[in-house]
C-alpha cells in the first residue's frame, strides 16, 4: 500500500536570508541578496554581481566542530550542512547517538559540484609536489557525495544516503526521489535538498557563454529580471535548501508539525530532440512533464493556485510561460499566480530547486504570494499569453491550496512537484 508523504521540516541558506525566519521576511519584503562582487570584478568577469549567502562565524560554529573546520574549504558542503541540520531541528527530530544508525532515516541531497575551492587548493599542492600535505579531508570535501556523507554522519542516518545531480533540476529531483522512496515504504523519512558552491570557479563557465547579466553591475539589486522586457541574463547565485520528507503515519505518531503534503510529481527529459539541446528545452517534454505530474498527483490543472517558476531572466522565460499555459490549458486571467525567486537570489544553480521549494511551501502555508521584483516592464511576449495580474509585483495575501514547483536544467531535463495544504 502506498504511503502518504508530508513535509515536516525546512531549512534554508539563501543569498537573501539564512534561516527560515530571515528568508520568509525577505520573501514578503521582496528583499534582494544580490550584491556587487569584487572578486568577479578583479577577475574581469563580464557579470560582476552575485547572490552569495551571508554566512557568519556563528552560523558555522553552530554546526561544525573546530576539528571539522581545520583545512575546510567547501562552501557547498557548508551551506548544505547548515540547511540540512536546520531542517532536521525544525522537524523536531533527534540525532541518533547510539551504536546503531537510524535505519528509518536517510538523505538524498544533491549538488552540481563539491568543494571546487578545495579542489583548486589541492591541485596547486599537487603541482608543487606537496601531495602529502593535502590533508585527510581532501577526498570527502571534493567527492560529489561529500554533502550527503557529511549529513549522514552528523545525523547518524542508516537508510539511503546518496547525492543526486541533474543540473538546475537537482533540488526538485532530490525531493521527488525522496517522495518515491517514502511512498513505497522503503524509508520513514528522508532529508532531501540540494546545494551549490559559491565563487568564480563555479560561475566562470556561465559568464564565458554570455548567459549572465553584465548590464547592471552598478545596480546589483536590479540585475536579476525574470519576465522583464529588459532581462539580459541570469545572476549567478548559491546556497542550499533542505526539507524533511516523511511518511504521514510516522509524522502523526510523533505529533510532528506538518507543513504540507506532496501529492505527486514527475521527472523527464527532452532527450535534446525536438528543439531541445544542452541549453534549450524541448517544449513537448516540458509540457509532458507538467501534465504527467498533475496526473500523478490525482488533481486537475484547474486546481493549481500558484506556480513557482524556473524563470531565469533569459530569453527562455516567455517559452516557459507558453509551455506552462499549454500544459495547463490555462491562459490570460485564468492562469495561476506565478513568481520567480531568482529576482531576489539570482540563479542558485543546483541549489535552485530546493531553495525555491522551501519558498513555495512558506507561501502555501502562510497564504501569500511573494512579489515579483524587477519586472515593471513585463515582457510583451509573456503578457500576450497571461494577464499581468497573474504576475503580482507587490506582496499578495492570498489563500493557496495547491502549488506547483517547476525546474528545468542543462541537458534538457525537467521536474515538477505538486504540493497541497495538509488535511
pLDDT given at position 108: 98
Burial 101-113 (b: 16+ CB within 10 A, else e): bbebbbbbbbbbb
Q: Are 352 and 382 in contact (CB under 8 A)?
A: no
Mean pLDDT of 284-296: 98
Residues linked to residue 246 through DSSP beta bridges, in sequence order:
6, 189
The set of long-range contacts for 284-288, using a CB threshold of 8 Å and a minimum separation of 24, is 285/412, 285/414, 286/320, 286/323, 286/327, 286/408, 286/414, 287/323, 287/326, 287/327, 288/327
What are the pLDDT digits (tens) for 235-277?
999 999 999 999 999 999 999 999 999 999 999 999 999 999 9
Q: Which of 400, 398, 392 is nearest to 419 (CA)?
A: 400
Alpha helices in 11-160 (DSSP H): 20-29, 38-42, 57-63, 66-69, 75-90, 116-127, 138-142, 146-155
Q: Which fold has domain 264-420?
A: Peroxisomal Thiolase; Chain A, domain 1 (3.40.47)
Which strand (E) or helix (H) includes residue 263?
strand 260-269
Tens-place pLDDT, residues 343-374: 999 999 999 999 999 999 999 999 999 999 99
Segment (H or E) for 243: strand 239-247
Mean pLDDT of 123-146: 84
- pLDDT confidence tier of residue 97, bands split at 50, 70 and 90: confident
CA–CA separation, 423 and 419 (whole Å): 12
From-to residues of CATH 3.40.47.10 in the chain: 5-260, 264-420
User: What pLDDT sits at residue 68?
Assistant: 87
The rounded distance, in Å, linking the Cα atoms of 340 and 336 is: 13
CATH of the domain spanning 5-260: 3.40.47.10
Sign of the CA dihedral running 395, 168, 51, 207: negative
- pLDDT bracket for residue 121 (50, 70, 90): confident
pTM for the model stands at 0.97
Bridge partner residues of 402 (DSSP): 420
352-366 helix and 20-29 helix, angle to the nearest 10 degrees = 80
C-beta neighbour count of 57 within 10 angstroms: 7
Alpha helices in 184-333 (DSSP H): 200-208, 248-253, 283-297, 317-328
Q: Give the residue among 227, 245, 228, 237 at the shortest CA–CA distance from 190.
A: 245
For residues 146 and 74, is the Cβ–Cβ distance under 8 A? yes
What is the arithmetic mean of pLDDT over 145-165? 97
How many CA atoms, within 13 angstroms, populate the side-chain half-sphere of residue 348? 41
Residue 119's pLDDT is what? 76
Q: What is the pLDDT of residue 210?
A: 94
Give the whole-angstrom CA distance, residue 14 versus residue 403: 21
Would you state the pLDDT for residue 370? Answer: 98
The predicted model gives 377-389 an average pLDDT of 98
Would you state the torsion angle of the CA atoms of residues 22, 23, 29, 34, taken in this order, to the nearest 10 degrees?
Answer: 110
**Considering only CA atoms, which of 304, 300, 301 is closest in space to residue 328?**
301
Q: 1 falls in which pLDDT band (50, 70, 90)?
A: confident
Amino acid at each position: 500500500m502506498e504511503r502518504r508523504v508530508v513535509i515536516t521540516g525546512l531549512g534554508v541558506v539563501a543569498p537573501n536570508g539564512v534561516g527560515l525566519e530571515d528568508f520568509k521576511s525577505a520573501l514578503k519584503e521582496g528583499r534582494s541578496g544580490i550584491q556587487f562582487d569584487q572578486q568577479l570584478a578583479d577577475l574581469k568577469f563580464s557579470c560582476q554581481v552575485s547572490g552569495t549567502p551571508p554566512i557568519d562565524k556563528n552560523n558555522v560554529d553552530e554546526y561544525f566542530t573546530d576539528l571539522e573546520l581545520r583545512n575546510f574549504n567547501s562552501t557547498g558542503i557548508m551551506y548544505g550542512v547548515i540547511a540540512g541540520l536546520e531542517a532536521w531541528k525544525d522537524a523536531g527530530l533527534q540525532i541518533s547517538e547510539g551504536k546503531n544508525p537510524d535505519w528509518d532515516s536517510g538523505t538524498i541531497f544533491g549538488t552540481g559540484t563539491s568543494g571546487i575551492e578545495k579542489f583548486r587548493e589541492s591541485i596547486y599542492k599537487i603541482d608543487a609536489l606537496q601531495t602529502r600535505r593535502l590533508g585527510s579531508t581532501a577526498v570527502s570535501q571534493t567527492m560529489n557525495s561529500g554533502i550527503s556523507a557529511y549529513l549522514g554522519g552528523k545525523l547518524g542516518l542508516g537508510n539511503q544516503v546518496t547525492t543526486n545531480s541533474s543540473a538546475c533540476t537537482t533540488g526538485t529531483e532530490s525531493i521527488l526521489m525522496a517522495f518515491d522512496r517514502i511512498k513505497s515504504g522503503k524509508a520513514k523519512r528522508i532529508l532531501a535538498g540540494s546545494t551549490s558552491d559559491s565563487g568564480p570557479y563555479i560561475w566562470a563557465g556561465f559568464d564565458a557563454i554570455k548567459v549572465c547579466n553584465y548590464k547592471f553591475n552598478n545596480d546589483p539589486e536590479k540585475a536579476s529580471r525574470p519576465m522583464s522586457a529588459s532581462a539580459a541574463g541570469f545572476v549567478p547565485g548559491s546556497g542550499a535548501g533542505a526539507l524533511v520528507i516523511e511518511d504521514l503515519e510516522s509524522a502523526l505518531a510523533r505529533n510532528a508539525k506538518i507543513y504540507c503534503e506532496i501529492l505527486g510529481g514527475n521527472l523527464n527529459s527532452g532527450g535534446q530532440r525536438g528543439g531541445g539541446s544542452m541549453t534549450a528545452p524541448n517544449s513537448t517534454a516540458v509540457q509532458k512533464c507538467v501534465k504527467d505530474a498533475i496526473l500523478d498527483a490525482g488533481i486537475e490543472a484547474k486546481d493549481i493556485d500558484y506556480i513557482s517558476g524556473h524563470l531565469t531572466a533569459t530569453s527562455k522565460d516567455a517559452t516557459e510561460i507558453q509551455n506552462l499555459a499549454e500544459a495547463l490549458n490555462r491562459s490570460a486571467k485564468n492562469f495561476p499566480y506565478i513568481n520567480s525567486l531568482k529576482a531576489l537570489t539570482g540563479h542558485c544553480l543546483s541549489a535552485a530547486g530546493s531553495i525555491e521549494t522551501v519558498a513555495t511551501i512558506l507561501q502555501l502555508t502562510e497564504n501569500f504570494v511573494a512579489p515579483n521584483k524587477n519586472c515593471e516592464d513585463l515582457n510583451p511576449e509573456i503578457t500576450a499569453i497571461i494577464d499581468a495580474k497573474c504576475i503580482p509585483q507587490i506582496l499578495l495575501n492570498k489563500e493557496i491550496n495547491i502549488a506547483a514547483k517547476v525546474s528545468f536544467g542543462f541537458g534538457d531535463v525537467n521536474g515538477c512537484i505538486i504540493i497541497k495544504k495538509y488535511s
